[in-house]
Structure 1
Amino acid sequence: MTSLDLHGLGVRVHVTVSGSRVDELTDALRTAWSRCLVPRGSEIDAPPLTVSLEADEDLAPRLQRLTQDVTQTAIQAQRGRLFMFHAGAVTDPRTGAALAYVAPGGTGKTTLSGVLGRTHGYVTDETVGFNLDGRIMPYEKPLSIRPPDFTGVKIETSPDELGLARVHPDARLRRFVLIRRDESLTTPTVEPLGVLDAIVQLTSESSSLSSLGTPLHSLAAFLDARPPTLLVTYAEAESARDVLIEALEET
Structure 2
Amino acid sequence: MSDSANLRPHGTTVVARVSAFGVVVPIRASDDLREPVLDAWRDALTDDEPTTDPVDADGLDVASVLHHLSPAVTTRAIDAMAGELVMLHAAALADPISGRTAVLVAASGTGKTTASVTLGETFAYLTDETAAITRDGVVMPYRKPLSIIDGSHVKKQIAPSALGLRSTELVGRLAALLVIERDPDHEGTPVVELLDTVDAIAAIAPQSSYLPSMDKPLHRLAELIHLVGGAHHVTYAESADLEPLLARLLAAAP
Matched, 1:33 2:41: yes
Deviation at 1:126, TM superposition (A): 0.2
Secondary structure of 1:160's counterpart equals helix
Alignment of 1:61-80 (within 5 A): 61-80=64-83
Answer whether contact 1:121 1:168 (CA < 8 A) is retained: no
Matched, 1:184 2:190: no
Residue identity over aligned pairs, in percent, reads 38
Q: Please, which of 194, 197, 200 is the counterpart of residue 199 of structure 2?
A: 197
TM-score, normalised to structure 1, is: 0.90
Query: More deviation in 63-72 or 5-14?
Result: 5-14
Query: What secondary structure is seen at the aligned counterpart in 1 of 2:108?
Result: coil
Write the distance in 2 (CA, Å) between the matches of 1:170 and 1:67: 24
Between 1:75-84 and 1:9-18, the stretch displaced more is 9-18
Counterpart mapping for 1:15-26 below 5 A: 15-18=27-30, 22-23=31-32, 25-26=33-34
Shift of 1:26: 1.1
> What's the secondary structure of 1:62's corresponding residue?
helix
Q: Is the Cα–Cα contact under 8 Å of residues 86 and 220 in structure 2 kept in the other structure? A: no
| Equivalent residue, structure 1, for 2:224 | 222
The aligned length equals 240
Distance 1:245 1:107 in 2: 22
1:235 is matched with: 237
Q: Aligned residue for 1:2?
A: 13
The one of 53, 78, 86 equivalent to 1:47 is 53
Shift of 1:99: 0.3
Q: CA deviation at 1:44?
A: 6.8
Amino acid in the other structure paired with 1:239: D
2:57 alignment partner, SS class:
strand
Per-residue CA distance 1:48-94 (angstroms, 9 max, x = gap): 111236xxx32111101000100011000000111100000111112
Segments of 4+ moved more than 4 angstroms: none
Residues 142-199 of structure 1: CA deviation (Å, up to 9, x unaligned): 011111x2x4310100011011111342111112100101111122211111111111
Gaps of 5+ in 2: 1-11
Are residue 87 (structure 1) and residue 93 (structure 2) matched?
no
Aligned to 2:165: 164
Q: RMSD of aligned C-alpha atoms?
A: 1.7
CA distance in 1, matches of 2:223, 2:85: 15
Distance 1:33 1:120, change over 3 A: same
Change over 3 Å in CA distance of 1:250–1:182 after alignment to 2: farther
